Amino acid sequence: MNSSSPGNVELICIIVNFGLGSRLIQAAKRNGISGGTVLLGRGTVNSRILDFLGLSDVRKEIVYMVANRDTAYQALKKLDEEFKFEKPNHGIAFTISLCGAYGLSSINNECISHERGAEEIMYHAITTIVDKGRADDVIEAAKMAGSKGATVIHGRGSGIHETSKLFNMDIEPEKDIVLILSEADKTEAIISSIREHLKIDEPGKGIIFVQDVNKTYGLYR
């Protein structure tokens, strides 16, 4: 594995109204972000009238993007200027530090830390984003390296290798997002197995990002 200091990669998470996710990713690409993944969500509005009408639930899109810290912060500032997140109902944006990222040519951060200060990291959250239909391949590759199981979420993606056009409109492919909670001493083996079997390091094959987990319940060894 290539080695670089962990903590220099950020996961950008932006929650916007339904229909804005793709536009937001296109704006992010103009500011140095290579692509993103959109998930469907549901928000709530604190309004008695809308609640009475049964319209208090609002469809949302959650956009995930990964970039090095400088690019992430600069892009997020530009996105805030364009989408005006400070205005009510215009969106919420935040970043989370990652301890590893794979499958992104613009990022070289592959050193997984097992310590945070004096505290030992016991678990990692491994998120793998691949083309729809490949989730089972990810899960199988992870199991070969000791993973106990996974959760699959569906979304759509837009990366530099992925968007095609139909009638001059961008068509974004559907994606599978696989979440695995891994014991820290198995994390690198699980990631290596997924990278090898799904060819993650080839352009357009998928991405993996890793986060520290602070505390867990309900996991069986």
State the Cα angle at 127 between 74 and 216, rounded to 5°: 110
Q: What is the pLDDT along the chain (221 residues), one digit of tens a residue?
A: 333 345 589 999 999 999 999 999 999 999 999 889 999 887 766 666 656 655 555 788 999 999 999 999 999 999 999 999 998 888 999 999 999 899 987 675 555 655 555 567 899 999 999 999 999 999 999 999 999 999 999 888 776 555 444 444 445 688 999 999 999 999 999 999 999 999 999 988 999 999 999 888 887 66
For position 172, which CATH number holds?
Answer: 3.30.70.120
Q: Which domain holds residue 158?
A: 9-213
Does residue 30 sit within a domain?
Answer: yes
Q: Which amino acid is at 7?
A: G
Q: Is residue 171, in this structure, part of any structural domain at all?
A: yes
- Sequential DSSP letters for 195-218: HHHHTTTSTTS-EEEEEEE----S
Residue 3 lies in a domain: no
Whether 48 is in a domain gets the answer yes
